[in-house]
Structure 1
Amino acid sequence: MNHPNARAFSSPLPFATVSSMVVLIALASASASMAFAAPPLPVPLQALEKKGLSIVGTFPGAGGMTAYAAHAGTEPIALYLTPDGKYVIAGTMFDATGKNLTATGLEKAVAQPMSEAVWGNLEKSHWIADGRSDAPRTVYVFTDPNCPYCNKLWDDARPWIDAGKVQLRHVMVGILTPTSAGKAAALLGDKNPAAALDAHERGHVASNAKMLASGRPKPLGDDSLKPLSVVPAAVAAKLDANAALMGAYGLRATPALVWKDAGGGVQMRQGAPESGLAAIFGPR
């Protein structure tokens, strides 16, 4: 994963995009027994669930087909079951005027379940709290201990953290340099991870600010946090799970932030320039 330079902060990632590709998936029909009180999904949809797709409900369809709302990670997907129940078409449906019949219904049907799934996965990830537990707003951030932009974000966030308005939850990853995993493991394994993270980030603020201002960013040094030479298997599994979660959401560089907007929808972005923090953290 390549780390962004000072100008590589991206705009917020789109959270409700619909693929324009139409893929015909032919699946053999088979009988299904009643495992629950509610009718089981049609066999082709069951097959897609086994491949990792989350199917959350239906929305208005057309042409005699039943429309199902699904998502893969943070990507909403519309599925159209043919009237004979044997085939599924994944993609976007248009009418004779070119009007998109999929976007509105899909977004409405999938937005809340998808947001709940994303937020639930983050809550179960391996993070270090920064700020009060009773803060009214929670923001997750994928953090590499060697990342200079993560350190800048940590410093820029102090007004909200110190005022008790935001709790940052640092989902630790070790992806930037060869010592990143050892440092992340040292933080997660510390008897007081929050204090260890605070000391590490605080110890680099002044020197990192000068380095970024010079236009020559580089990874943070090892003077405030020594990497573990051998990462325990249990901690390595936590770091791997965090990195896999980051990748599943299409996030490729740190810092990567995830938060809820005013409507409760989950938003994401890579990078957090100081001028954009109020939109994520709220008013100071």
Structure 2
Amino acid sequence: MIEQIPKRLFQVALVPATILAGAAQAQTYPAAIQSLEQQGVRVVESFDAPGGMTGYVGEMQGRSLAFYLTPDGDHVIVGTLLDAQGNNLSAASIDELVTGPKFAEAWSQLEESHWVRDGSADAETVVYTFTDPNCPYCYRFRQQAEPWIDAGKVQLRHIIVGILREDSLTKAATILGSDDPEAALHQHMDTYEQGGIEVDRKRVSAAHMDVKANDRLMQDLGLQATPSTLYKDGEGNVKMVQGLPNPQALQRMMGPRP
């Protein structure tokens, strides 16, 4: 459910600087980096990379990526850089320079979005997750989170979106437009395998614009899959997990299993 960086970028993993030799550019980046800009990449920051390379992080179509200028300055490599221990250096750079600051800034937008509370209002940990009513992974994530929710440890805030199927919008608006959205969400989860909540046109009319606003927020954040979940780690840094979290990620976001 997680889209890949457009294939055409990988097809030019080595870009000769001569492609844009002599082209007038307002930026001061080397020509090999300018060639990526021509393909729609927005350069965010540069950093020192191993092997004498210069690393860059950027965004394309809402997705973050890392690329590396070779020491001769004539070629740029797009992709993942691993060290001898297999650590993903690209992901660390992207998180530090792009996604971390972006999601930290977005936290207030999450708070102000149209979400449904799932769990105790007094829970110590608050987790935001983009949920489509027709998403099987959202359903499974809610099952995974249940021990923390039932123990009063975690409040899961579902930002309800309608993007996966034709009736996702109407189901989402039925939940959001309910007199008791939390009860409606639980009703939907309890009956998910039988098709979920029954669409109520009155509720849809009341809340469909709220669902569309959630859809736009998800798109603006460059999130490509449901569930996409944001939380704060022990140091207060905003982290994001896209897709169904594994057990280790689940404990990082929610703490030790109750």
Give TM-score, length-normalised by structure 2. Answer: 0.63
Mapped partners of 2:249, 2:54: distance in 1:
41
> Given the alignment of the two structures, is residue 56 of structure 1 paired with residue 45 of structure 2, yes or no?
yes
Measure the CA separation in 2 of the matches of 1:146 and 1:219.
Answer: 8
Q: Distance in 2 between matches of 1:273 and 1:108?
A: 19
1:30 is aligned to 24
d(CA) in 2 for partners of 1:201, 1:233: 16
Q: Structure 2 counterpart of 1:249, which letter? A: L
Higher helix share: 2
CA distance in 2, matches of 1:184, 1:136: 27
Partner amino acid, structure 1, of 2:223: Y
1:249 maps to which of 223, 238, 241? 223
Displacement of 1:120: 3.5
Q: Deviations over 1:54-106 (max 9, x none)?
A: 4223113656x64333354554312317767xx66132699xxxx88xx7654
**Letter of the structure 1 residue corresponding to residue 244 of structure 2:** G
Q: Is the 8 A contact 1:147 1:176 kept in 2?
A: yes
1:188-227 equivalences in 2 (<5 Å):
188=176, 190=177, 196-208=180-192, 217-222=193-198, 225-226=200-201
1:250 Cα deviation after fit = 3.8
Give SS of 1:77's match.
strand
Flag the structure with more relative contact order, 1 or 2, with Cα contacts below 8 A and sequence separation at least 6.
Answer: 1
CA contact (8 A) 2:129 2:229 kept: yes
TM-score w.r.t. the length of structure 1 is 0.59
The secondary structure found in structure 2 opposite 1:30 is coil
Distance 2:189 2:211 in 1: 27
- Secondary structure at 2:58 match in 1: strand
Q: CA RMSD in A?
A: 4.8
- State the structure with more CA Rg: 1
Gaps of 5+ in 2: 5-9
Distance in 2 separating the partners of 1:104 and 1:202? 38
Identity, in percent, stands at: 24
1:199/1:231 CA distance change after superposition, 3 Å: closer
2:126 partner SS:
strand
The question of whether the paired residues in 1 share the 8 Å contact of 2:190 and 2:196 is answered with no
Distance (Å, rounded) in 1 between the aligned partners of 2:227 and 2:198: 19
Report the Cα offset of residue 268 of structure 1: 1.7
2:76 pairs with 80, 85, 89, which one?
Answer: 89
**Structure 2 equivalent of residue 270 of structure 1:** 243
SS in 2 for 1:78: strand
Match in the other structure for 1:139: 127
1:258–1:267 Cα contact (<8 Å) kept: yes
Q: How many aligned residue pairs are there?
A: 240
